[in-house]
Structure 1
Amino acid sequence: MSVHPRLQLTDEVRDALAEGRPVLALESTIISHGMPYPDNVRMAREVEALIRAEGVTPATIAVLDGVPRVGLSDDDLEMLGRAGESVTKASVRDLAYVMAKGIHGATTVAATMRLASLAGIRVFATGGLGGVHRGAASSMDLSADLTELSRTPVAVISAGVKSILDIGLTLEAMETLSIPVVGYQTDEFPSFYSRSSGYDVPMRADSPEELAAIMATQWELGVTAGLDIANPIPRADEIPADEISGIITQALADMDERGITGKDTTPYLLGRVVELTGGASLTANIALVKNNAMLGANLATAYAAVTAGRA
């Protein structure tokens, strides 16, 4: 597959793709908007190191000075982490704007999916998906992550959707949009900080090879939707659902009191939950991101083997 000419790839990523070696996409919003500095930069570096140790090339994606970048340098990671929320949070709708303006954009799940697909990368690991917000019946607050998953052929590994969302409605929306939801070694959809949500997953796979076969078969059929691969947080790192639910309710009430809406809601809520848990949620967040990255590396390897065998 040819790479879109507007993308700038590192030599490491370009060579891996040209040679058919596994590449794993990573987002940049989690760096600039998802965690405080310097935890964000340390997390990004450790995740890339974990992926390389598995023989896989990491491709952290962002828009820098208006250029969509697939693969970042260590200095780039540092800059995004230090700049934090001053970097524009860029979903798909924002890509043309940040490129035309020549500014920095930290890519969301949706924008990272789109740019990864344009680069020919089919596996992407993140923390949690966006989805249907609580109260969406009146606010109509639905994440663009869902619409992008419905039309872009990238497998996204996450610890479920962010637990600040309405998980049941999000699963209903994914069914309507024909997005396969596959639980990895689980029959229950995880809820980010917790392994449990009370909702079942419609499909299950128990190995990266099974996941890779599902991906390859879906796209061979001409179904261009991505896949949501739900990978529960490790048991030792989770915050039980009954414990985190009250904290999230408090964070939502605080947000409403401050009148925070739109794309500012998720960064605020995640930051407020960190405060209310005394930092425990940040520890859990980092643990689940690393867990997803490890599965992502293994899946990228398995998918490269499947596609090589079908070439």
Structure 2
Amino acid sequence: MLVMSEEVREALAAHRPVVALESTIIAHGLPRPRNLQVALELEDVVRQEGAVPATIAVLDGRAHVGLDKRQVERIANEEGIRKLGHRDLPLAVAAGVSGATTVSATALLASLAGVRVFATGGLGGVHREWTVTQDESADLGLLARTRITVVCAGVKSILDVPATLQRLETLGVAVAGYRTTHFPGFYLSDSGHPVDWTVESPVQVAEVMRAQDTLGGPESALVVAHPVPEDEQLDPELHARVLADALHACEEEGVIGQAVTPFLLDYLVRHTGGASLSANLAAVRGNVRLAARIAAAWAGA
């Protein structure tokens, strides 16, 4: 039920660099036709760095690691594409449906296929008002038991960042800032919260990955927190003001549960004139490029 593209299979067999990419951003994160353009652009970024892209999705009940252009177009344009976390995978496969994979599902399938490096925008995490809602992303628990390196721009700034960092520590997930001493804030270069470790190069990240394998222990992930460049981040004052308004609107409209994140993200896009989306895409492009360089260093380690 796990189908690898010929390109990905050959690259893994030859110990060449491969980078996993999620498909939720294609199906659910961007409007058409920009979603397809971005999906193909991100694959091109991986190739420019000498690595092989492995976009991951479920098509007709089969989990695919590596998509051809026609399959990417299906994810971008087909109606009824489900949004699949790792818990949904057995149900989707058994039902024969098609779905785009979130961070947790992508990380799991990539790991099963033997792909060690994964690039995404921002992780899920602990939601605000956790003491009331008990709402926590499945990303965290999955990363606690999956040996993969995730390059991200921190966690979405609509979440409770310090609580998420505490939860990652409790779960034993290693977190390192890439050329930064502070955890990035998704749209922002700096969330205001420090990280305990900093890595300075793709080679150093590969050394950490090798040390993980040598030491053994729990099969947990390595999170490489890579900030969006300051000149491409969302204006911090605009971010703070619009996010406060978004949280108030969410409460006023009674939005709860899984509907909260898409509501807040959509609010930010609309009330920043698209600037939040531009910052998001800048972060993703940078993460993908760095992930390809890490994969190359890992392949040559």
Q: Which TM-score tier does this pair reach, normalised by the shorter chain?
A: over 0.9
Q: Are 1:221 and 2:215 an aligned pair?
A: yes
Task: After TM superposition, list the pairs within 5 Å mapping 1:68-79 onto structure 2.
Answer: 68-79=63-74
SS in 2 for 1:225: coil
SS in 1 for 2:124: coil
**Percent of pairs identical after alignment?**
48
| Dislocated runs of 4+, deviation >6 Å | none
Give the distance between the partners of 1:38 and 1:219, measured in 2 at CA.
41
Contact 2:126 2:137 in 1 (8 A): yes
Aligned to 1:27: 22
Aligned to 2:50: 55
Aligned to 1:191: 185
Matched residue type, 1:106: A
SS in 1 for 2:29: coil
**How big is the shift at 1:257?**
3.1
Give the one of 128, 132, 138 matched to 2:126: 132
Contact 1:33 1:267 in 2 (8 A): no
Deviations 1:7-54 (A, max 9, x none): 111110010001110000000111112122222211111110011111
Deviations 1:109-150 (A, max 9, x none): 011010000000010000000000111111011001000111
Question: Mind listing any 5+ residue stretches in structure 2 that lack a counterpart?
Answer: none
Matched residue type, 1:69: H
SS in 2 for 1:63: strand
Deviations 1:47-87 (A, max 9, x none): 10011111100000011111000011212222222247x32
CA RMSD of aligned residues (A): 1.2
Q: Are 1:39 and 2:34 an aligned pair?
A: yes
SS in 1 for 2:248: helix
- Higher mean C-alpha deviation, range 114-123 or range 252-261: 252-261
Give the one of 244, 259, 266 matched to 1:249: 244
Give the distance between the partners of 2:110 and 2:232, measured in 1 at CA.
29
SS in 1 for 2:279: helix
Give the distance between the partners of 2:274 and 2:121, measured in 1 at CA.
17
Task: After TM superposition, list the pairs within 5 Å mapping 1:11-22 onto structure 2.
Answer: 11-22=6-17
Matched residue type, 2:93: M
Q: Are 1:147 and 2:151 an aligned pair?
A: no
Q: Are 1:119 and 2:135 an aligned pair?
A: no
- Give the TM-score of the pair, scaled to structure 2: 0.97
Q: How many residue pairs are counted as aligned between the two chains?
A: 300
Give the distance between the partners of 1:97 and 1:35, measured in 2 at CA.
25
Matched residue type, 2:194: D
**How big is the shift at 1:264?**
2.9
Q: Are 1:261 and 2:256 an aligned pair?
A: yes
Deviations 1:215-269 (A, max 9, x none): 1111221131001110000122101333202211222222333333333332222
Contact 1:197 1:241 in 2 (8 A): no
Q: Are 1:272 and 2:274 an aligned pair?
A: no
> Hey, which of these two has a bigger chunk of strand by percent?
2
- Higher mean C-alpha deviation, range 10-19 or range 72-81: 72-81
Give the distance between the partners of 1:42 and 1:254, measured in 2 at CA.
32
- Give the TM-score of the pair, scaled to structure 1: 0.94
